[in-house]
Structure 1
Amino acid sequence: MAAMETPEEKALRLKDSGNEALKICKYSEAADLYTQALELHETSVLFSNRAMAYIKMEQYGQAILDADCAIKIDPQYVKAYYRRGSANFALGKNKAAKKDFKKVCQMKPKDKDARAKLAACTKAVNEAAFAMAIESDETAPLSQTLDPGQWAISAAYEGPHPGAGGEVLEDMDAEKMLFTPGMLPREFVMDAIKGFKDGKVIHKRYVARLLISCKEYFESVSTLSEITIPDLGADGSPDSAHVTVCGDTHGQFYDVLNIFELNGYPSASNPYLFNGDYVDRGSWGLEVVLTYFLFKISDPNCIFLTRGNHETKNMNKIYGFEGEVKHKYDINIFNLFLEVFTWLPLAATINNKVFVVHGGLSSEDGVTLDDIRALKRGIEPPEGGLFSDLLWSDPQPFPGKSPSKRGVGYSFGPDITAAFLEKNGLDLLVRSHEVKDEGYLVEHAGKCITIFSAPNYCDSMGNKGAFIHFGHDLEPKFTQYAHSPHPDVRPMAYAQGMGGLMGL
C-alpha cells in the first residue's frame, strides 16, 4: 500500500501544478492552487508565487500582502522583495518600490534586471519631485501655448491631408477650422485609419490640432455623458437602432478594426461607446485612441468615450503608451494626450436607464448621478474617493464592500449595485476593467455586466472579446469574437524600465 501523502508533500504537488498553470497564463487557476497549498503548509515560496499570480491578474494589493507574508517567514527570500517592488511600482508607490529593489540589488548585486528596475524607480521618484518643485497654477497648459503650424509638412509626407481633395492647406486658420467638431472630413478619417493599418502615421501637425480640439471639446461637455439611442438604425429601421458598448481595447488596433468589420464603422445611426482603457499593454495604443478621437471630431454623435484607469499619467509611464508616443512622435504629443485624458467623461447613461463606467461603484453611500456630474476634471485621479472608485473598482459576488485586491478602489457587492441603481432610477450597470474568458460576464442577479473587448489579451490570455448592443428595449445583446492577426510586435514593446513587469 502506498504511503499517505503528508501535508507538506501535497502542498509541494499543488505548488508544482500552480507553477504549470502560471506558465500557460492561467493565472486565476494558479492562484487557487497556491491557496490550496498554503492551507496545508505556509512557505515564503508559496506566498511569493501567489503574489506573482496576483500581479499577472493586476491584483496588486493582494500581491503586496502576500509578499509581506513571504518576507515575514523568510526575510532573505529575494523574490518576495522583487514582487512587492513590482506591485508597488504598478500602483505608483515609487518610493516603496525603490526601497524594495534597492534591497534586491543588495542581496543580488549582479542581477541586471533588478538594477534596471531600481533605476526606473529612482527616475520616477526624481521626476515626481522635480514636477512638484516646478508646479505652478499659473503655468498655461501646453494646449493653449503650442502652435501646430510651426511644423511644416514636407513633400516626403505620404499620409492624408484634411483639405478638400486631400491637399495641404496653406491657410493655417482654415486648417484649424477643419479640426473643429463636426467639420473634419470623413474621408480624412478613413484614409488615416487605412494608413494606420499599413503601419503609417499621420503628420504631427494634424495630431496636435486633433488633440487640442479634443481637449477643448471634452472640457465643454459634462462629466456624465447622456446618450440616447437613435430613432432609426443604419438601415433606416427603428428595429435596428442601437448603441454599441465596447470595453477595454488596450492598444489592440487590429481587433478594433475587426469590431468595425463585424459591426460597421461609427456613425450617428451606428453610435459606439468605448468604455475606457484604449491604450497601454498592446503596442498600437496610439492608433486606437487616434481612431476614436478622429471619429469624435468628425461627428461627435457617432462615438462616445469614457475614461479608464489607463488614461492616466502613471499607467502610461509603466505600461507602454508614453514610450509608444515618444517613439512615434515626441514628448509634446504625449503631453497633449495627457491633457485630453484628464477631460474625458467619467461615466455615461444610455436612455437614462443604463449606467456605464469603466471600473465600478463607489465606497461612499448614497452616490447620485449629480455627484458624478459635479466631479472636478482636468486632473489626474486622486488616490481615493468617488473619482478613483469610478476608474478602479470591481464587483464582488457577496454583499457589502471590501478593499480592492488591486490596492486601489473598492470591491462592491450585489446589494451595493441594487441600491445605486434604485436611488438613481437606473436598471443596469455596465462596466469593463477586467478580462473575462467569454468577453463578458453577467452577475449581481443580472444587474451588473462586465464587457471586455480585447481578445487574447496581451497575446497570452486566450479570452474572447465581446461588445453589447442596446436597442430601444434596452435588453443587452452580446457579440463575441476571437483575436485578429497583427504585425509581429509584442505587447508592451515600448514600455521602459519596468517593461518586464508582466514577465516576472
Structure 2
Amino acid sequence: MYQGTELNVTSAFHTLPPMHPDQWLPHLMKCQHLPEADINALCNRVRAILIEEGNIQPISSPVTICGDIHGQFWDLLELLRKGGMVPDTKYIFMGDFVDRGNYSLETVSLLLALKARWSFSSRNNQLVELKIPNCVPRYPDKVTLLRGNHESRQITQVYGFYDECQQKYGSSSVWKACCTTFDYLNLAAVIDGEVLCVHGGLSPDIRTLDQIRVLTRAQEIPHEGAFCDLMWSDPDDIPAWAVSPRGAGWLFGGNVTREFNHVNGLKLIARAHQLVQEGHKYMFNTSLVTVWSAPNYCYRCGNLASIMRFHEDGTRDFVDYGPAPENERDRGMPLRRIGGAGAQYFM
C-alpha cells in the first residue's frame, strides 16, 4: 500500500499542493491503494466536480466509450494502453466500475483520480480553475463517469466492494465515501447530440431526454421507477416492454428503441450492463449497441472486451482486446462473490 502523499513536486508551472491528483496517479497506476485520508480527499474533490455537472453530460467527439470494468484493474490498464491515456484520449465510462473483480478499490480510485486530474469548472462556459489553490490547468470532458447499477450501497454489499474496503482499511469509512460520490455520478451522456450513452437502458416512464435531466440523482438507486430503469434495463427481441428477469428494470424492444431515438433526435443508444462474448453487439438495425470492457469476465468467462471510438468525421469503430498479461500474477486469488440471492443476475 502507498504510505501517503509525498513531498511537493516542483514543475515548470507550479508547486503541487498536498493531496493533488498528480501525486496519486503514479501510485494508482501501480495498483496501490491510497491512504484513507487521501481517498477521502479524492472523493470530496470529485464530488465537487460532479455537483456542477448535469444528469446528462454533453460530450463532443472524438471520444471513446467503455463498458463494465468490474474491478478488473489490470484490464483497465490494458484498456488505456489500447485506447490511449488521458488526456490524449477522451473517455466515457458507462458504469459498473466495482464488484466481482480483485481490485475494485484500485479501479475506482484510478478512475476518480483521472476525473479529478482532467476536469474543469463549467462556470462562464469557459475553461476556468476549480476553487482549489495552485491547481494545474484543466481540460473539458476528458473523463466522464456514468453511474451503473453496481454504484450502489445495496449491490456493493453483496458483490464484493464493501468487503474489499473492509479488508484493506479495517473499516467501512472509505466504502461510505465512495458510495456518497457514486450518488453524484452522471446518469447519461450525449455525444454530438446524436448518441445517448447510459449504463442499462430505457424506461417506460421516460419518453424524452428532458425527463432524465430533471431526475433527482443524488440518492441511492431506487428499487423501481425511471432512475432504476436507466441502471437496470436490457434490450431484447420483443415488440415493446416485458418484465426483466433481473428483478429490476425492464426488457425493451426494437420498436421502443427506434421511437425513443426518433423523438429525441438520436441515431444510437450506447449502453453496457450485459456480457457480450465478442465485446460488442449491435441490435435493432444498429439503433442500439452494447459495449463490454471486462475481458475474461470474473477471470473465467473467456470473452473478449471492446471499447468504441467515435471520430470527429462521424465514423465509429471498435477496438477489441483480451485479458491483460498482468492477470497471470493473480492466479490463485480467491474470487469475489458472484452469485448469491440473484444467481441469474451473474450474466
* Structures share fold, TM-score greater than 0.5: yes
Where is the strand percentage greater, Structure 1 or Structure 2? 2
What amino acid sits opposite 1:324 in the alignment? E
What amino acid sits opposite 1:279 in the alignment? V
Q: Which has the larger radius of gyration?
A: 1
Deviations 1:406-442 (A, max 9, x none): 1111011111111111111111000010000101110
Select 1:391's aligned residue among 222, 225, 231: 231
Shift of residue 248, structure 1, vs aligned partner: 0.2
Aligned to 2:335: 491
Select 1:464's aligned residue among 299, 304, 321: 304
**Unmatched tracts of structure 2, length 5 or more:** 12-16, 120-140
CA separation of 1:500 and 1:400: change in aligned 2, threshold 3 A: closer
Q: How does 1:113-124 map to 2 (within 5 A)?
A: none
Q: How does 1:195-234 map to 2 (within 5 A)?
A: 195-196=30-31, 200-229=32-61
Alpha-carbon distance in 1 for matches of 2:222, 2:28: 34
Aligned to 1:266: 86
The answer on whether the counterparts of 1:323 and 1:496 sit within 8 Å (CA) in structure 2 is no
Q: Is the counterpart of residue 192 in structure 1 residue 27 in structure 2? A: yes
What amino acid sits opposite 2:220 in the alignment? E
Alpha-carbon distance in 2 for matches of 1:245, 1:500: 28
Aligned to 2:197: 356
Q: How does 1:276-425 map to 2 (within 5 A)?
A: 276-300=95-119, 301-329=141-169, 330-364=171-205, 367-425=207-265
Shift of residue 270, structure 1, vs aligned partner: 1.2
Deviations 1:3-29 (A, max 9, x none): xxxxxxxxxxxxxxxxxxxxxxxxxxx
CA separation of 1:496 and 1:440: change in aligned 2, threshold 3 A: closer
Identity %: 33
Alpha-carbon distance in 2 for matches of 1:473, 1:497: 43
The answer on whether the counterparts of 2:69 and 2:96 sit within 8 Å (CA) in structure 1 is yes
Deviations 1:172-215 (A, max 9, x none): xx536x4xxxxx33xx243123331xxx3222211110011112
Q: How does 1:132-281 map to 2 (within 5 A)?
A: 158=3, 161=6, 163-164=8-9, 175=18, 178=20, 184-185=21-22, 188-196=23-31, 200-229=32-61, 242-267=62-87, 269-281=88-100
The answer on whether the counterparts of 1:223 and 1:345 sit within 8 Å (CA) in structure 2 is yes
Where is the helix percentage greater, Structure 1 or Structure 2? 1
Per the alignment, in what secondary structure is the counterpart of residue 202 of structure 1?
Answer: coil
Per the alignment, in what secondary structure is the counterpart of residue 54 of structure 2?
Answer: coil
Shift of residue 357, structure 1, vs aligned partner: 0.2
Aligned to 2:125: none
Alpha-carbon distance in 2 for matches of 1:349, 1:500: 32
The answer on whether the counterparts of 1:395 and 1:413 sit within 8 Å (CA) in structure 2 is yes
Alpha-carbon distance in 2 for matches of 1:387, 1:162: 43
User: How many pairs does the alignment contain?
Assistant: 315
Shift of residue 258, structure 1, vs aligned partner: 0.6
Aligned to 1:476: 316
Deviations 1:249-293 (A, max 9, x none): 0000000111111121111x4101110000001010111111110
What amino acid sits opposite 1:215 in the alignment? R
Shift of residue 501, structure 1, vs aligned partner: 6.2
Deviations 1:359-416 (A, max 9, x none): 0001226x21111110102211112111011000000112111111211110111111
Higher relative contact order (CA 8 A, sep 6+): 2
Aligned to 1:452: 292
The answer on whether the counterparts of 2:4 and 2:38 sit within 8 Å (CA) in structure 1 is no
Per the alignment, in what secondary structure is the counterpart of residue 441 of structure 1?
Answer: strand
Aligned CA RMSD, in angstroms, stands at 2.4
Alpha-carbon distance in 2 for matches of 1:383, 1:484: 35
The answer on whether the counterparts of 1:245 and 1:274 sit within 8 Å (CA) in structure 2 is yes
Alpha-carbon distance in 2 for matches of 1:195, 1:422: 45
Alpha-carbon distance in 1 for matches of 2:144, 2:286: 24
TM-score (norm 1): 0.59
CA separation of 1:372 and 1:456: change in aligned 2, threshold 3 A: same
Per the alignment, in what secondary structure is the counterpart of residue 446 of structure 1?
Answer: coil
Alpha-carbon distance in 1 for matches of 2:342, 2:236: 30
Deviations 1:2-59 (A, max 9, x none): xxxxxxxxxxxxxxxxxxxxxxxxxxxxxxxxxxxxxxxxxxxxxxxxxxxxxxxxxx
TM-score (norm 2): 0.85
The answer on whether the counterparts of 1:354 and 1:430 sit within 8 Å (CA) in structure 2 is yes
Q: How does 1:98-117 map to 2 (within 5 A)?
A: none
CA separation of 1:423 and 1:262: change in aligned 2, threshold 3 A: same
Shift of residue 497, structure 1, vs aligned partner: 11
What amino acid sits opposite 1:276 in the alignment? G
Alpha-carbon distance in 2 for matches of 1:216, 1:478: 33
The answer on whether the counterparts of 1:160 and 1:191 sit within 8 Å (CA) in structure 2 is no
Alpha-carbon distance in 2 for matches of 1:441, 1:374: 30
Shift of residue 340, structure 1, vs aligned partner: 0.4
Alpha-carbon distance in 1 for matches of 2:33, 2:261: 43
Shift of residue 476, structure 1, vs aligned partner: 2.4
